[in-house]
Structure formats: C-alpha cells, structure tokens
Structure 1
Amino acid sequence: MKILFVGGNGAGTIFPDIPLAQAARNAGHEVIMTGPEVTMSAILGSGIPAVSVTERTIQDCRVNREGVLVPTPARGPERNIAIGRMFGRLAAHSFDALIDLVEQWRPDLVVSNVLAYAGPLVAHHAGVPWVRFATDIAEPLDIDLAAAAELAPEMERLGLHGTPPPAFSVTLMPESVRPPTAPVALPLRHIPCSTQSALEPWMYTKGDRPRVLVSAGSRVTPDDDFDLLNGLVEKVAPLDIELLIATPDDVAARLELPEGARAGWLPVDVLAPTCDVMVHHAGGNITLTCLANGVPQVFVPYLPGLEEHSARIADQGAARLIDPDDDSAANIAGAVRDLLEDPSYRTAALRLRDEVERMPVPAQVVRDLERVVAAHRESTAAK
C-alpha cells in the first residue's frame, strides 16, 4: 500500500515521525513524507523519499493572509491561539502542493503529524483514512481549534465544516506522563533519531568525568535564541564535567567553549546512552530521547507550553524543572549537581525508560496501519 506521511514544521517535529515511516517502508509499503523545504535534509538523510510542499517556515507564518505581521503574545490562551493560527497558515501554504501530490500519487493512507493540519484535509480529498501522530508535548486543544479556524477557506473548498476525525491516534509519550486531557491513542515506542555523521569513538564511549549534554533545540541560529543557549553553556561550564553542546554548526562556531567541550550538530541519539544528565529547553525530540534512554533531565522551558510535560516528568522524580525566570547559574548548576549526586533521579529515569521499552515498536504499529487500510477497502467495496 501507499502511505503518505505529512510531517511537521522542523527537524524537531520530523525526527519522531521517521521510525514509523522507515518501518512501513521496511514492511514493503511505498512511503513518501512531506514537509516544508527546511525539513527536507532531515527526511532525506533518514532514507525516506520526500516532497517539499512549501518554501515557507513557521516563522514566516507570523504574517497573516493579508500580509500583516501578527504579534505572538508571551503567555496565556491568546498565545496558543496565535500559534494555532500560524500552524494553520503553514498548512494553508502547503495545501495546494499536497492536493496535487495525492491526486497524482493516490495514497491509501495518510499519517499526519498532529501539528501538520493539512494532512486530514488532503486525506479527505483523497477519500482515504488518516492517522494522527502525536508526541503529547505542547499540543493543546486550543492550538488545534485555532488552526482549524485559520483553515476555514480550505475546508470550504472541500465541503468540510471541521477537521475530519482520524481512524485512530498514536502517541510517543509513556502513559504515566501523558496529559490527563489527551485523546485516546495507541502507544508507540519512541526510537531516537537524528541526522547522522561519521562516528568518532568519543561519541559512543565516555571518560571518567560525568557527561552532560546541553541543548536549546535545532532551531537556534546565531540571531535567534543564541543567548539562551550561550547562557545555559556558561552556567553549566564551571562544573567538573565533560560538556557536550548539541546545536547547529554555525551556532557552535560562535560559542565561547571551555577547554575540552565539544559543540556542533551532534548525533544525540548515539550520545544519549552515554550521558549522565541533559540540560535543555524541554523540546519534544530531546525529551523523548532522554525518556527512551533513562537519562535524568534539567528542563528550562523558555517557551510557554513546554513546562507542562516537564512538570509531569519532574513529578516522577526523573528530572528537575527550572523556571526560566529563575535560571541563575546557581540554580542550573545546582540542579545538575543534584542529578549527578542523587541516584534517585537515575532510578526514576530508568523506570520511565522501562515503560518506554514496553510500548509497541514501529513495526507492530505498521500492522495497525495495514488493518485500517484493509477495513477501508472492505467498506468501500461493500458500497
């Protein structure tokens, strides 16, 4: 069968989707994954055929359809509404290219990232079922509603009055730390994934000192969020640790690194099993990678919405949550020191890892995808 994966807006939202796409392809199915142009290197680097559906980025979508820059509130419900509108506009910019693709390629199933709001619409247009792919990180209902409102013109073109319901949902988040309001979903084990480079021995081995990895996400640039990353590095650097900084190479080149530190586009999936602690912005891909490897985490959720899953994981004893307003060197370094010295954090993180490892692997979930398509074909033939 043919499966169209409609991917998210950046590398951090693409990487969690890729193992299921790879498993479907390994099972003998035809697979194409789509996304904005900025995601192509991440998809193609994983060996998945890819189609770019827009040159726009999510940052471009701060400008509305009338060409007016819309401010994004710092906090509160208004922020989620603004973000939902941005994702809706990104979906609108992707809509025509996706319609062309499904008309020419004729998929049997669409698997749509929860924030890729054009996916359900093009599945409806193609007359095929769709599956909702979620991480349950910063995916609140009000973002969905705002995106749907933004997509009203596209829905009207298709004769829709709302987003078509999925055949089912999958989630990468272990049940013990899922949001209580999250929709019913099949569990799917997170398989850490990242853009690869030739490995060196230090990447899969560690020395005598504790290994701490710092990241502020894949979207940091020399002009955007650089100070956040540089601040985290400066606050952790005085500790007696082996320091790794995972960030784009052009950002790494601007960091003032302490002696012995390594920085760049590092293969975090390879490094994670060797790390004692990760300090980061609470982004979805790195959070899930820590959970999958039993690594204690220090969360500093600079973006609103990322504190909710951080608090649930911290409540399990597997992490420390630092309020961005209290991100002093003493607080962040103290949290790292606590995680290194108190074994209860590692014990709790390993307990969550064990829960992740009990979740069905992608190859098992592919069988659920196959059943959805088989049921749809039977239903269609019976009409």
Structure 2
Amino acid sequence: MRMMFVTWAWPTHFFPLAQLAWAARAEGHEVVVAAPPELSPTITAAGLPAAAVGAGLDIRPLAGRFFASLAARDSPLEWSEMRAWGTGNLATYRKIAAAMLDDTVAYARAYRPDVVVHDPTSFAGPIAAADTGALPVRHIWGADYTIRTREFEAAALEPLCERLGLPGVDSVGAVTVDPCPPGMQVPAPVRRLPVRFAPYNGAAEVPRWLIGLAGRPRVCVLGSTAVAYFTDRHVSPLPVVTRALAGTGVEILAIGADRDRGDLGPGASQVRHVPATALHLVLPHCDLLVHQGGGGAMMTALAAGIPQVTLPLFTDHVFNSRRLAAAGAGRWIFANSADVDGVRRELLDVLHTPGYRTAARALGAEMAAQPPASDVVAHLAEMSV
C-alpha cells in the first residue's frame, strides 16, 4: 500500500500524523509526507520522507486581522456568531489549499497513492484523493473542533475542485482517524476510526536533570506557537503563572523560547527555563500543565495522566478547554480575564484537589485502551482494496 500524508506548514498539525506514518512504514508500506518546503526539516527529523509541494506562504496577512480581533475581546468568540460567516470561516485554509493544490495533485498523480491521509485543515489532501481515486482519510488531533465547519466546506472548496474538473469533494473523507479519548469527544455524523495516541512534539533530547523526583510540586508552563505567531499579546502565560505561584514552593518549568516572557515578579527564582526539549518528554515528570489550550499540548498531558489549567484566547483553544473542564480534568480562564489572584485560585485548586488528577488519569486510560496505529493501518489497507 502507498500512503500519502498531506499537511500544511505548521508543525503541530504534522505531529499527530507521525505515529500513523511510522506504523505504516513498520508494516512495510510506502509512505511520503507532502507539505510546503518549510516543513521538510520537521518531517525528516521525524524519520519520514518529505515531498515539498507548493511554495512558502506567510499566513499572517491572511488571518492576522481575525486573530487581532480575538486578542481585543473581553469574552470568547462563540460559534453562534461565527456560523453566520459561512464559508468565511474557511478563507485562510482555502488559500493555503490553493497554494498547495497544483503541486500536491501533480505529486499524487505520479505517486499513485492508495490512501491519502490529511489533517482536517489541509484541504489539498481530500481534493488530491478525489482526483486520483485514493481512499480519503481525515486525521484529527483531539476533540473535533473542525467538524463544525463541515456544512460550509463543500461550497468553500468548489472553486478548487472546478480547477481539476471535479464535481466536488467530501472533506471528511471515508473515515476519520480519531486519537481523542471518547470521554472528551463531541458527537458528529462521521465514521470514526479510533487510534491510541502516541505523544510526539518533535525531535529532542531528554534533559538529565529531569529524570527522578522533583521533591516538590512541578508545574509545566507552555506558550502557544499559534498565539505567539499571530499576535503581539499573550505570548506566554508564564508571567501571570509565576506571580500566581510566588512563595508556594512549586517548581515551574518554562518550556520553549518565547520571544517575550515579561517580568516574572517575585516567583522568578522558582522558574527553570527549558528551551530545547519536547513536551512529551517533560510532562510525565510534572504534576500540572498550564498552557493556552492547544490540542496537541492537551492530548499530550492527558496521555501522561496529568491535569491542566488553560488560559485560552483563540476559538479552538476555548473549545478544547471547555471539553477538558467538562471531563473534570482541568480548569480554564479566558486569557483576557486572567489576573494573578484568579489564576492562583485555579492553580492551587487543581494542584490540591485529587479529583482532577483522577479524571486526567481516567482519560489517559481511555486513550491507552484504543487500538494501536498498526491496527488502523491494517484497517485502511483493507478499505483501500
């Protein structure tokens, strides 16, 4: 079987696809990951072959105004308001697909894949599958936020399909590969193929000091790459978290190289900066993750069985945070409403209330009970015949 994975140039959209690609290669199938050239180093660092398709595209001018409007809000933007925008919800992803489409289809025609796997925002994938007759497979990365735009996707993609003489495309494909724990997933009229989540946040070394007990509670703090990229505000939750935990004796691990951490206040001595490692290597040694609600970070923490506090700003991050809280595995405060006292209350509540960890471990157990990626590969091989 030949499998072609399609994603655009955002590493956290590629990472969830890696385990299925690894499993396919381990079973002797042919695999290639088609993505814009700037993602090739990330793909090859994961030990997978990359096919560069399309040209580099700066998406900040495409989506910057939308994200700037989110940064100025006093409350989350709700789907009831967004739904009125119709196909406008997909404008950025349609432009990304348009920039990748010709190269992706040309590569698919030459490669002749049996299966095309794509993340739910990489619409060049299902169109290439329709053009070549390959089995289209949608691969999500957590709670299914993007399913809400399905009603608009056919109309949004119609001009791209017309370029190839296609009557249209079903953007959810034949099946959706789903690593989300069932207790956190949303109902949707799609055929789901559950898969065990394998945490992967990029190639990295394990810091030697990390192995072993910390001797005191350890809180990991992670900034969002998307928030950092699209806005000049809310780059990292670290300053408010550090001030909130000042004097508590909690060790704070600051992951990543945020461009502006700000004044950390009196809790600065409790912070250990970890600029060059991957989240999946750190979280098994922590008691709590604080982040901005991204799906990859949330799933990685659940796999480690640790609770979370999120400070979301973007709409998908709010969606994820609500699903997490509903499952009992964490708490959240809208980023623009977060102050030191409020964050302190939430952090100490989650750290010291066993129910949050119990719920997180239960979701982690659900994830571990799902079929391994090798079973999913075998199922896709049968479907593609």
TM-score range normalised by the length of the shorter chain = 0.7 to 0.9
Alpha-carbon spacing, 1:142–1:346, altered in 2? closer, same or farther (3 Å): closer
Deviation at residue 205 of structure 1 after TM alignment = 3.0
The partner residue of 1:131 within 134, 137, 142 is: 137
Matched to 1:36, the amino acid is: P
Q: Deviations over 1:84-143 (max 9, x none)?
A: 111111011100110121122221210111111111110111121111111344633453
Structure 2 residue 249 is the aligned partner of structure 1 residue 240? yes
8 Å CA contact 2:34–2:52 kept in 1: the answer is: yes
8 Å CA contact 2:201–2:280 kept in 1: the answer is: yes
Structure 2 residue 176 is the aligned partner of structure 1 residue 169? yes
Matched to 2:117, the amino acid is: V
Deviation at residue 255 of structure 1 after TM alignment = 5.3
8 Å CA contact 1:85–1:146 kept in 2: the answer is: no
- Looking at structure 2, the residues matched to 182 and 137 of structure 1 have their Cα atoms a distance apart, in angstroms, of 14
Alpha-carbon spacing, 1:144–1:264, altered in 2? closer, same or farther (3 Å): farther
Structure 2 residue 41 is the aligned partner of structure 1 residue 41? yes
Structure 2 residue 275 is the aligned partner of structure 1 residue 264? yes
Moved more, 215-224 or 90-99: 215-224
Q: Hey, which bits of structure 1, 4+ residues long, moved more than 6 A?
A: 69-72
Q: Deviations over 1:124-170 (max 9, x none)?
A: 11121111111344633453444543332221123333323622221
Matched to 1:151, the amino acid is: L
Matched to 1:59, the amino acid is: R
Moved more, 94-103 or 236-245: 236-245
Structure 2 residue 120 is the aligned partner of structure 1 residue 118? no
The residue matched to 1:161 in structure 2 has which SS? coil
Matched to 1:93, the amino acid is: A
- Looking at structure 2, the residues matched to 219 and 141 of structure 1 have their Cα atoms a distance apart, in angstroms, of 20
TM-score w.r.t. the length of structure 2 is 0.87
The partner residue of 1:105 within 108, 111, 114 is: 111
Structure 2 residue 195 is the aligned partner of structure 1 residue 184? no
Alpha-carbon spacing, 1:40–1:235, altered in 2? closer, same or farther (3 Å): farther
Alpha-carbon spacing, 1:204–1:43, altered in 2? closer, same or farther (3 Å): farther
Alpha-carbon spacing, 1:145–1:222, altered in 2? closer, same or farther (3 Å): closer
Matched to 1:319, the amino acid is: G
Deviation at residue 6 of structure 1 after TM alignment = 0.7
Equivalent residue number for residue 212 of structure 2:
205
8 Å CA contact 1:34–1:52 kept in 2: the answer is: yes
8 Å CA contact 2:291–2:310 kept in 1: the answer is: yes
Matched to 1:362, the amino acid is: A
- Looking at structure 1, the residues matched to 289 and 221 of structure 2 have their Cα atoms a distance apart, in angstroms, of 6
The residue matched to 2:221 in structure 1 has which SS? strand
Matched to 2:33, the amino acid is: M
Alpha-carbon spacing, 1:337–1:15, altered in 2? closer, same or farther (3 Å): same
Alpha-carbon spacing, 1:94–1:370, altered in 2? closer, same or farther (3 Å): same
Alignment of 1:350-361 (within 5 A): 350-361=361-372
The residue matched to 2:162 in structure 1 has which SS? helix
Matched to 2:382, the amino acid is: R
Equivalent residue number for residue 56 of structure 2:
55
Q: Which ranges of structure 1 fall in alignment gaps of 5 or more residues?
A: 64-68, 375-383
For these two proteins, the number of residue pairs brought into alignment is 367
Alpha-carbon spacing, 1:27–1:274, altered in 2? closer, same or farther (3 Å): same
Alpha-carbon spacing, 1:176–1:319, altered in 2? closer, same or farther (3 Å): same
The residue matched to 2:205 in structure 1 has which SS? coil
Matched to 1:294, the amino acid is: G
The partner residue of 2:320 within 300, 304, 309 is: 309
8 Å CA contact 2:200–2:280 kept in 1: the answer is: yes
8 Å CA contact 2:240–2:339 kept in 1: the answer is: no
Q: Deviations over 1:334-369 (max 9, x none)?
A: 211111111111111111111111011111111111
Q: Deviations over 1:319-343 (max 9, x none)?
A: 0121334211111122111111111
The partner residue of 1:334 within 329, 332, 345 is: 345
Matched to 1:355, the amino acid is: E
8 Å CA contact 1:204–1:270 kept in 2: the answer is: no
8 Å CA contact 1:110–1:131 kept in 2: the answer is: yes
The residue matched to 1:240 in structure 2 has which SS? coil
Q: Deviations over 1:266-296 (max 9, x none)?
A: 2111111111000111101001101111110
8 Å CA contact 1:72–1:83 kept in 2: the answer is: no
What RMSD in Å do the two structures reach over aligned CA positions?
2.6
Equivalent residue number for residue 380 of structure 1:
none
Equivalent residue number for residue 74 of structure 2:
none
- Looking at structure 2, the residues matched to 253 and 205 of structure 1 have their Cα atoms a distance apart, in angstroms, of 30
TM-score w.r.t. the length of structure 1 is 0.87
- Looking at structure 2, the residues matched to 171 and 94 of structure 1 have their Cα atoms a distance apart, in angstroms, of 25
Equivalent residue number for residue 12 of structure 1:
12
Equivalent residue number for residue 149 of structure 1:
155
8 Å CA contact 1:73–1:82 kept in 2: the answer is: no
Equivalent residue number for residue 379 of structure 1:
none
The residue matched to 1:179 in structure 2 has which SS? coil
Equivalent residue number for residue 321 of structure 1:
332
Moved more, 140-149 or 177-186: 140-149
Q: Identity rate of aligned residues, in percent?
A: 28
Matched to 1:114, the amino acid is: P
Matched to 2:137, the amino acid is: V
